Structure 1
């Protein structure tokens, strides 16, 4: 029987799993719910991981009691070392048939391992945001990833919150908005199916759903790209600036070899917000020049065609002293390149 390795990319909204042979063949794929341990709790996180594995083993025609050789967990909120140890130990004890070996890391690390063998920067902007530098020797440096209360700048939730805050401040005459708020006001009413600002409070408190609030950014994107609404354009420009600042924060610790690669610093862009690159672009380029102490003369933005679950599987195999082949050229491509 072929040696099988699994990988899971766990986001704040959904999770994806792959089952692979060591030659790089994907045997099966599965999708499930959020597996961020900070959002759903460790017990529920582990149950969802187990449910994903049962589903994928069933698809592959494998006995559910036959453990995988290795399982990589690239989880949003999975970067804290003590939490990683607890999750792995608990999985071994509670779900002994799941896998023989484990590797757990933050979701950014799995994405990097999917796209580039030599390392680079992973910049996530989905529901939330996060940024991690991975040098070739495996050393990392991070910026962000603190969640919506302390961070998530440049993510979908942050953009929705920023647009709503500017609208509310304008309506209160606290900070009159320099842009017309009509589009954002109507978008708020349509998205949340409400009639007034007061009706929104239920969604922000008693019925809080981070992913649903964040999804309003899709309509803000249409406002920026299709209608050229000034307030929407402003929000996306600000998001571009702060996402670039994340890159500069970690680039200060990059190996010179990374900065001198053909095409400059590789930046793997993960998350649905990057679908609105044209709305982010001007702010991003401005933000990349905002720190005189960190100079990046050239960079390349890459888009993944594959889930970070492949990178998670690769890292798990490596930790188990196995070599899993990945076709990097097929996993990602360049969508923007710039020289200053």
Structure 2
């Protein structure tokens, strides 16, 4: 049996998908296309370090091989999408580490390897078979957008991180929620259900405890992003402040699509626009507002993503098999 491996290495978790080389079809698949999947810890090298990244990826691949009875000689190609990897020197370091993984797992010396950004594998996974043009908007802990035209050129927007960017992301939604609490306390903003919900979640008795939390504790961005779920819950309960935070995030994500249209004149009002990420998955208010924006601004046709980022990585690995 001949297999390829697609890896989606994120800052929260890592997905590793094993696919038979003949399982890809221009018409899609009839079987569960992601049944041979294993999930592991985060492998963003800027979060866990390159050495730990290598250890975790090697362990996850080995676990998947054992789980699905895949032999080292069965692996024809591996493609990996990693968050935070973009510079040439980083890609070279990752490639060197994968060569070590291949050697230590006894892969064939003819096994192919390729590395891509996490956004690019997500785009490739989102595009349906025989569709070669589209835009993918990503909103999870961070946010960005990526698109490709029929010529194969790739265009990007966002991805600047939580200090310079990440508008419309879980982190920004969480920060806006915290700001709404202090504004309500100061009587500079409306009262909101978020005050009780988030202070209770953080086990704080008073809004002033947020000062130490932000400036002394300095929570990681994924911790702030977790607060987004309280915004979604408050919006579901009719809280205007929470709803407005989600609507503003949807508008920011729409700006990503508009920027890609400016960068690529080939995009038009029928270009597929797809979404991925936990914020789109769990917030109907944000998603519906985003859909309305796309339609009213004639930025494309909203569609569900075809498959996962790990599938996109596996597809890229398949393209490297002769």
1:293 maps to none
Unaligned runs of 5+ in 1: 290-295, 323-340
Q: CA deviation at 1:286?
A: 4.8
Q: Distance between the aligned counterparts of 1:288 and 1:162, measured in 2?
A: 26
Matched, 1:216 2:224: no
Aligned-residue RMSD, C-alpha: 2.5
- Contact between 2:294 and 2:301, CA under 8 Å: does it hold in 1? no
Q: Is the 1:108–1:123 Cα contact (8 Å) retained in structure 2?
A: no
Q: Work out whether residues 157 and 210 of structure 1, in 8 Å CA contact, stay in contact via their aligned partners in 2.
A: yes
Q: Deviations over 1:188-233 (max 9, x none)?
A: 1122122223434565443623323211211211211x21201101
TM-score normalized by the length of structure 2 = 0.85
Kindly indicate whether residue 140 of structure 2 is the aligned counterpart of residue 126 of structure 1: yes
Aligned pairs for 1:1-340 (under 5 A) are 2-24=1-23, 28-63=36-71, 66=73, 68-93=75-100, 95-98=102-105, 100-116=111-127, 117-172=131-186, 176-177=188-189, 179-181=190-192, 183-201=193-211, 203-204=213-214, 205-206=216-217, 208-224=219-235, 226-254=236-264, 256=266, 258-259=267-268, 264-275=270-281, 276-282=283-289, 285-286=292-293, 297-304=298-305, 306-318=307-319, 320-322=320-322
The 10-residue stretch of structure 1 (8-17 or 97-106) with the greater mean CA deviation from structure 2: 97-106
- C-alpha contact (below 8 Å) 1:241/1:286 kept by paired residues: yes
The structural deviation recorded for 1:66 is 4.6
Distance 1:200 1:54, change over 3 A: farther
Q: 1:4 to 1:78 in 2, by over 3 A?
A: same
Whose helix proportion is higher, 1 or 2? 2
In the alignment, the residues of structure 2 paired with residue 228 and residue 73 of structure 1 have an alpha-carbon distance, to the nearest angstrom, of 42
Task: Write the deviation string for residues 76-96 of structure 1: whole angstroms up to 9, x where unpaired.
Answer: 223333311221122213552
Partners of 1:79 and 1:134 in 2: CA distance: 18
What TM-score results when the alignment is normalised by the length of structure 1? 0.81
Decide whether the 8 Å contact of 2:136 with 2:274 is kept in 1. yes
List runs of 5+ in structure 2 lacking aligned partners: 24-32
**Pair 10,93 (structure 1): closer, same or farther in 2 beyond 3 Å:** closer
SS of the aligned residue for 1:57 comes to helix
Deviation at 1:56, TM superposition (A): 0.6
